[in-house]
Structure 1
Amino acid sequence: MQDNWNDFAVLPIGLQATVRARIRSGILDKIVDKALVPLSIVQNHLPMHTRNFSDFYCSLEHAKNVCHFRRWNISVFFLLWLANAFKCTEVMKLKVSSNWFSIPSVYNGRTSSLAVSGTPITRPCGMYPDPQTGAISFQPESKLDFELEIGVWLSTPVLRGQRLDIAKAKEHIFGFTLLNDWSSRQIQSFEMPPLGCFHSKGSLTSVSPWIVPIEVLESVKCGRTTQQDPLPVAHLMPQDDAALTYDIDLSVTLLRDEKSYTLCESNLNTLYWTPIQQLTHLASAGEWLSTGDVFGTGTISTSATNSDGEKIGLGCLLERSLPRTVLKSAPPDLHETFLKDGDEVILEGWCRNKTTGQVVFGFGQCRGKVLPAIP
């Protein structure tokens, strides 16, 4: 017996399907009922043994909202305000680096941050300037954030020195989970120049325990809703752009002081760079990708609005700190305080029948509660 799905993930697809069919049949026929245990007493674990974790930055809405400059300062946020206030598309173009449109932007994370859903996050501490005095000190993170993502888990490895044909990329994906890449925004803004994220992304990365196999997702495959301009280079150009991604509804719920708030409603199909293109890029320079490796799609933000005309599709709180993005239904101080001690964040995902709109399967939950910083 193994405590992960690594060995199963490399079995032939047909054999995997046979195993799933037998299990499903046993459930429907109630043959397995005597082996069932209450979910409340089940101890979940990380679904796979992982050697490598990478995190992408591939939502155009997210990129336009939060920027990806070498220096994060007040001028950036002034540009954001100006662009939103006057709907100036030329200002908006200034926010996204040109290389972002040529390759899926990504960084290598740390596997030690991976933890299964339900694992609490202790408020991180790190170095950043005091907002009032500007004095730099080691202190608890005051703007702890979540990031709504999908985790993509690999099956067949890609050996060192080899590259991956985009037409065969799907054959190397075992399945998807929900993923929350918790982010320390104050620490991040100070440590980013010149080498990027470190402690701000290393505290915890929560993943849901249930992997939805890639074959199951065939029923919800679709084209992206955000068109690429310019067209990608040859090795990132898909053969079938109409079936390159998946129609997966996503949501984020905040539990605070015994109240529930919906903070985000999004969809995977809005990403500028799809998971198939992301994986192809990840394996394009001859790196070794192993069975059980996982990458995050990056924050999945959309321009969707709710019935009040508010942007409901934003996949992190940093974007909520911008003008005209505050939700009336959210805690009134959320855009200033970000996550407080005791808050619990719940990510959920589900797929619907394209004709009836009825939910046909889901991803379970990816949840985590914020604990106070260590004194």
Structure 2
Amino acid sequence: MRKRKIRRIKRMIQLLIISLSLLVLVVVVGLTYMVNNMKPMVVKAVTIEAGTSTIEVDDFLLDKDRQGSFVTDLDSIDFNTPGVYEVEILVNKRNYTSELNIVDTKPPMATAVNKVVYKGITLSPTDLVTDIKDVSETKVYFTKEPNLDMLGDQEVILIVEDSYGNKTEIKSTITVAEDTEPPVFYGVEDKTVNAGGTIFYKKGVTVSDNMDTDIDFTVDSSNVNLNQVGVYTVYYIAEDKAGNKTVEPATITVVSGGIDDEKLNEKVKQVLSEITHEGMTKRDKAWEIYRWIKRHVSYTGSSDKTDWKKEAYRAIVEGMGDCFTYYAVAEALLTGAGIDNMRVTRVGGKTSHYWNLINCGDGWYHFDSCPHKDKLETFMLTDAELEEFAKKRGSYYYNYDKSLYPATP
């Protein structure tokens, strides 16, 4: 009986030992699991230089043998802008948070430019620097302002600084020289005006200078009397900041009656604006001019052959005249369209005849916009084709002194 009881106690002790062992094992396993899962898997922060193109998930992992992936979309982060960005990473099916610290510690890169400048001008620091490279905005300034009134070479020290205070010092050499180049006029032309008329002297005239960008000019027309027929001289005057002066003369011819250039040119521009446009070839423009004259001018058999501009104006405004009128309005419109042209005059025969030679860039051709009873087109004719027309029309119709004019193709 006693032995049996002792055996029972022993079995109970054995079961208790096994139970305690299992409990200890469970506790150890549980604690190990908890420790492993509570252990940091990522670094607190990763610091990179602004402008870095890529970053890997391994840069955030404490244990490089583990696998991880970004939860945060890195495309949403501007790697060129310094700042602290929160980054979420998945490791062992659990999300961890770290920080991406983007800093800008690199100074800008830049190349110095040596420059010749003229005495007394204004010089910007940016004029002496090129190829600036930095991830942020930059500014350029002198450590000491150069003396632009002192002729000769000077070393100039410049600072290129970015938005985060990083600085690069570069050196340039400037050569201060005297500006001896005068301003240049464009568009100064002789003008003809009717007595009592008006001239816009500055219209179409510009002036430029090798240094001054805001240069202006004056016109001395004090010797001109627009109410008195005669020939006068006006002077276009410009002076730059260095004292270089340009005086360019132009002749003003005051005539009695007739049509002045301003008045004719206004009508020419009006017609051309209606029948031509940008992108047209010169030949296309010449054809439209030919057609316009054919449609708008009627043959009346009379003209003032002493003043071609008057007849050109008459053709546009009144729409009538003779062959001289047709030639004249063609010259005005062709010239306004930038097409080279010249007058051709018939020799021989009982009456005169006038037409044009034009060059659209591919050689000279005959251009006769005057109507004829045969209604044949006389646009862009060669010398040979013109002779065939002359045979058909007879009466020396296109007889002219070929030695005075260029040959056609």
**TM-score bracket for the superposition, by shorter chain length:** under 0.3
Q: TM-score, normalised by structure 1?
A: 0.19
Q: TM-score, normalised by structure 2?
A: 0.18
Q: Which has the bigger relative contact order, CA under 8 A and spacing at least 6?
A: 1
For the pair shown, the structure with the greater C-alpha radius of gyration is 2
Structure number with higher strand proportion = 2
